[in-house]
Structure 1
Amino acid sequence: MKDVLYKNISKYAQLTENEFEIFAESFELREYKKKDLILKEGDYCLFEGFVLDGCFKIFFLNENGLEQTLYFAVKDWWITDLDSFINNVPSTLSIEALEDSKVLLISKKQKLDLYEKLPVVERLFRIMNQQASIALQRRILSLMTKTADKRYIEFLQKYPGLEQRLTQQQIASYLGISHEFLSKIRKKTVLGK
Structure 2
Amino acid sequence: MSLRVALADDQVLVREGLKAVLRELAIEVAVEAGDGEALLAALADTPVDVVVSDVRMPGIDGIALVRRLRAAGSPLPVVLLTTFDDSALLLAAVEAGAQGFLLKDAAPEDLRDAIVRAARGEGWLAPVSTDPVRARYAYHDTTPPQETFSEREVAILRLLAGGYSNKEIARTLFLAEGTVKNYVSEILAKLDTRDRTRAVLKAITLRII
Task: Give me the TM-score of the superposition, normalised by structure 1.
Answer: 0.35
Greater fraction strand: 1
* Greater RCO (Cα-Cα under 8 Å, separation 6 or more): 1
Q: Which has the larger radius of gyration?
A: 1
Task: Give me the TM-score of the superposition, normalised by structure 2.
Answer: 0.33
